[in-house]
Structure 1
Amino acid sequence: MADEELTQEEGKKKGGMLKWIIILVVLIALGVGGYFGYTMFFAAPDEDATSEEMADAQAPLEDLEGQLVPLPVFLVNLADPLGRRYLKLGVEVEVRDADAQAALAKYEAKVKDTLLLLLSSKSYDGLSTMKAKVELKQEIADRLNQILGNGSVLRVYITEMVIQ
């Protein structure tokens, strides 16, 4: 009789301890799953880090004051499947000095060709977000710096943009 009572008490203790371990594991799994779900679906994208990285990359350029040079307005068909969309883009470029401004005028044909090819390779989806527009400005600056010499173009400003 006494042996049966001891066996029942040990069974209850083991069952009670096992129940708490299972509850603890389930709670931890729910917490990890909840955190994962929140970060993937509900948390805002980390745009602050992206804008800080871009600001750090352009920090030396922000100290410089340049001269604004307007470029002609570009009107191109976008690279959409049906070819029914077009982009009208007005751009002003901030150059470092008068030499860069003169080089921009000298290589005007190269500049137009490069920018027309760049813009016509874009699609509506590739230009519809704010991030895509900022990337477009950076791509234009990079292409112009390849033509004029590295560091000649400080910033690119989009003055007019119509996508239809």
Structure 2
Amino acid sequence: MADEQLEAPKSEKKKGGMLKWIIILVVLLGLVAAGFFAWPIIKNQLLGGEAPANATQETEAQPMAPAAQPGETELVTLPTFVVNLADPLGRRYLKLTLSVEVANKESAEVLGKSEAKVRDAIILLLSSKTFSELSSIDAKLELKDEIVKRLNQIMGGSSILRVYFTEMVVQ
């Protein structure tokens, strides 16, 4: 009878010790899994991430803008654009006013004469975007590049140098 009482506490100690190791193992596996899934986010935000492989190819394929003298460029302010975004419920809209930097006065005149084409191209581009596609800084910079490309297609060359957002409201 005394032997039975001595053996019972020993088996309880083994179960408690084994349970502690199982809990430690589960916690460690959880930390490893969290680190695995969090690494891409940490890499992109803190370390700057890597540029996509095709990013250098795209910049090399694009024709370089003409080297305009600082005094030669002109800014043309376009009328405000108000468009519905392509969100599923259709309740978000974008109000955007932008100025376009052109290479010279002739380009500014051509841009003014092509205002209907310019507005059409920009409205189509903006209305195809969703809120999530416009929420980050990188997305806004990409939108600027897309607008420059579209305007240069309309103008027939590379007379559009840059686009500046002077007002941007997403609601």
- Report the TM-score, using the length of structure 2 for normalisation: 0.65
Q: Deviation digits for residues 81-111 of structure 1, max 9, x if unmatched?
A: 1111000000000000111101101111000
User: Which residue of 2 is the match for residue 77 of structure 1?
Assistant: 84
Q: Distance in 1 between matches of 2:114 and 2:41?
A: 48
Q: Secondary structure at the match of 1:150?
A: coil
1:96-132 CA distances to partner (integer Å, 9 max, x unpaired)?
0111101101111000111111111111011001010
Distance in 1 (alpha carbons) for counterparts of 2:162 and 2:131: 24
Percent of residue pairs identical:
48
- Structure 2 unmatched ranges of 5 or more: 1-31
Unaligned runs of 5+ in 1: 1-32
After TM superposition, give the deviation of residue 40 of structure 1 in Å.
3.0
SS in 1 for 2:132: coil
Distance in 2, Cα, partners of 1:156 & 1:132: 14
Which amino acid letter does the alignment assign opposite residue 160 of structure 1?
E
The Cα of 1:149 is off from its aligned counterpart by 1.7
**Aligned pairs (5 A) from 1:103-142:** 103-142=110-149
The AA in structure 2 aligned to 1:40 is P
Report SS of the residue matched to 1:81: coil
The 4+ residue runs of structure 1 with deviation greater than 2 A are 36-50, 60-65
CA contact (8 A) 2:66 2:158 kept: no
TM-score (norm 1): 0.67
Cα distance, 1:42 vs. partner?
Answer: 3.0
